[in-house]
């Protein structure tokens, strides 16, 4: 089906349907062809320029950043009251720093300002000695002043305010005293004790990392976790394949299985095997050991030939094709559906369309860190506006896809202290290496996103919030999450920068069915890969019946008791409660019904680079 999307077509229009061949151009080879193309579509050269510029800006739109900056600066310049307030705050902070310095001279090093709870840069006791205590205290006071300067300026749009505050924080973090040899007491002491050998090791680490990045090789140690050898080794068979997916059916380990099989829809922004890592933390292995038949979608890694695959293709050739194959392998039964991150959003779209059309094949629906309302989708929305999306569309138009490296820069900026600067200090100044683990190796095994799909996803979901607003159409007709009657189990994580838990919690406002909500410790990935026995794990869980009144997320968090350990057993117990008994172990595949076993898991698509 052709859908109206906001991808710039070659005639410059931005609304209306986009044909399947949208974005394809004939590269000019002669002067007359160049002139002819320019007369027809001069904006082609704008797009080429933007695509070139994106290589210098890690995919961030300079126009979007300038709009935010000038919005903030112009309103600040016309706000004398705010300016006076900032001058007074600067004077007070200078006085606080001066009094702190005087107290330090008397031996009292009690800080005048404490770092934020998530800021671990200055926790070492060596930061409390002169002159390092003065350096980090002045840095924190400066950071606080800039936060005051970039927020609560009357007239600035909320989006621009958040973008400017974020940009100021990133710029200040660049000059943190923790990042430099002479101003970081831990690095200085290590350098003295090791007579500079840490810096030699750090330089070698830097050169090694640089060679691997430029050579497009995985990071050091990732080769220890080869797919199909150390990770993704749960036995199974690929029982269905099309242009977009391979469907893996895993071999049960029990004498009987629950009647309803499980279909897992991972996000195509990641390789599926995050849910089948090493045997001791594989969710797939845990489920088959608990007596479930498990099916997993393994997405193809798209290239320039897949530029016109859209959201409808991912629904039809992904979720719906997998469901049809499962119903051939295990007929006459419903399915427990599971969606992770973007896969959970897609699963919700498919489930809402199925509910609208009377398709009752879903017994339950489970979300892992998946959003359905994008109005408060965290700091990632800082990079989502019309200017930024248009910039990304020009990048993808030239390539046919968005490369993982172009996405990685944005995600690293969201957690720059953890993912950039702490690594600079640890690997290059201290000269150490963190040991590679299976989750880190998986994180380096990146994928791409096709042009059309990613543009539709950003515009329809992130920018316009069409799914939550009831404007998202499937087969030409709107869908609504309120039509879904299958019970829902939703998992969110406390430290999620991709799908913040309060954003995930908004499902309570949209669903007219029983919702069991679980909030677990950890981040977007580590909180989900939370096997029993994992140290320092805890979770909160409640079930809201369809007839219950709404409870806001903050009240829910305060009033819900915390349980130690993994949330996996609680989820399995919930699945068992919504299953209808045991059956004999089904065969792998169904050759007589068009789903023959094609090859052993993990299949072919997971190896695509």
Residues belonging to the active site: 341
Query: HSE (CB half, 13 Å, CA atoms) of 124?
Result: 13
Q: Kindly report the CA angle at 414 between 413 and 418, in degrees rounded to 5?
A: 80
Report yes or no: 566 and 490 within 8 Å, Cβ to Cβ.
no
Q: How far apart are CA 261 and CA 363, in angstroms?
A: 10
The continuous run of DSSP H or E covering 264 comes out as strand 262-265
Q: State the Rg of the chain over Cα.
A: 26
Closest CA to 6 of 471, 456, 472: 456
Q: How far apart are CA 328 and CA 313, in angstroms?
A: 21
Tokens representing 79 are 């706000």
Report yes or no: 342 and 377 within 8 Å, Cβ to Cβ.
no
Q: How far apart are CA 79 and CA 155, in angstroms?
A: 10
SS (H, E, C) 326-375: HHHHCCCCCEEEEEECHHHHHHHHHHHHHHHCCCCCEEEEEEECCCCCCC
Place of tokens 């993808």: 396
> 69: burial class by Cβ within 10 Å (0-12, 13-18, 19+)?
middle
Task: Say which residues have a Cβ less than 8 Å from residue 85's Cβ, sequence separation at least 6.
Answer: 148
> 15: burial class by Cβ within 10 Å (0-12, 13-18, 19+)?
exposed
């Amino acid at each position: 089906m052709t859908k109206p999307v906001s991808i710039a077509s070659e005639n410059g229009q931005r609304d209306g349907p986009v044909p399947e061949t949208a974005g394809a151009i004939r590269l000019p080879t002669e002067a007359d062809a160049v002139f002819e193309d320019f007369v027809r579509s001069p904006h082609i050269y704008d797009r080429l320029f933007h695509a070139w510029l994106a290589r210098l800006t890690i995919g961030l739109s300079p126009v979007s950043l300038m709009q935010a900056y000038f919005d903030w600066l112009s309103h600040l310049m016309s706000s004398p009251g705010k300016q006076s307030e900032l001058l007074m705050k600067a004077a007070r902070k200078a006085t606080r720093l001066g009094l702190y310095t005087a107290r330090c001279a008397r031996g009292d090093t009690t800080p005048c300002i404490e770092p934020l709870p998530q800021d671990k840069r200055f926790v070492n006791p060596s930061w409390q000695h002169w002159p390092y205590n003065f350096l980090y205290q002045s840095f924190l006071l400066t950071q606080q002043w800039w936060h005051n300067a970039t927020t609560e300026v009357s007239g600035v749009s909320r989006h621009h305010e958040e973008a400017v505050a974020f940009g100021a924080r990133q710029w200040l973090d660049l000059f943190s005293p923790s990042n430099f040899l002479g101003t970081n007491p831990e690095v200085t002491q290590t350098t003295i004790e090791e007579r500079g050998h840490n810096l030699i090791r750090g330089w070698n680490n830097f050169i090694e990392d640089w060679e691997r990045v430029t050579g497009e090789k995985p990071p050091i140690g990732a080769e220890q976790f080869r797919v199909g050898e150390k990770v993704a080794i749960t036995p199974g068979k690929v029982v269905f394949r099309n242009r977009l997916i391979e469907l893996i059916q895993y071999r049960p380990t029990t004498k009987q299985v629950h009647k309803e099989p499980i279909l897992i829809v991972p996000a195509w922004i990641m390789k599926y095997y995050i849910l089948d890592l090493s045997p001791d933390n594989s969710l797939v292995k845990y489920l088959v050991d608990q007596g479930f038949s498990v099916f997993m979608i393994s997405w193809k890694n798209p290239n320039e030939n897949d530029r016109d695959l859209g959201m409808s293709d991912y629904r039809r050739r992904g979720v719906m094709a997998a469901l049809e194959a499962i119903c051939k392998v295990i007929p006459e039964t419903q399915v427990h559906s599971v969606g992770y991150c973007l896969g959970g959003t897609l699963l919700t779209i498919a489930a809402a369309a199925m509910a609208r059309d009377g398709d009752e094949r879903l017994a339950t629906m489970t979300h892992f860190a998946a959003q359905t309302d994008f109005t408060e989708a965290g700091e990632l929305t800082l990079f989502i506006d019309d200017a930024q999306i248009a910039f990304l569309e020009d990048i993808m138009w030239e390539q046919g896809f968005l490369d993982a490296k172009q996405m990685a820069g944005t995600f690293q900026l969201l957690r720059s202290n953890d993912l950039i600067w702490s690594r600079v200090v640890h690997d290059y100044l201290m000269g150490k290496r963190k040991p590679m683990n299976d989750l880190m190796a998986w994180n380096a095994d990146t994928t791409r996103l096709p042009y059309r799909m990613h543009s539709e996803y950003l515009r329809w979901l992130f920018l316009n919030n069409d799914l939550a607003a009831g404007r998202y159409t499937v087969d030409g007709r709107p869908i609504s999450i309120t039509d879904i009657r299958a019970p829902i189990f939703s998992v969110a994580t406390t430290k999620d920068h991709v799908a913040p838990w309060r954003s995930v919690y908004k499902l309570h406002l949209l669903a007219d069915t029983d919702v069991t909500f679980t909030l677990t410790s950890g981040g977007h990935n580590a909180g989900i890969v939370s096997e029993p026995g994992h140290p320092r794990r805890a979770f909160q869980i409640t079930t809201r019946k369809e007839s219950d009144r709404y409870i806001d997320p903050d009240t829910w968090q305060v009033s819900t008791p915390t349980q130690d350990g993994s949330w996996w057993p609680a989820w399995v117990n919930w699945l068992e409660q919504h299953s209808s008994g045991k059956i004999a172990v089904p065969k792998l595949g169904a050759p007589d019904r068009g789903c023959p076993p094609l090859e052993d898991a993990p299949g072919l698509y997971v190896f695509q680079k």
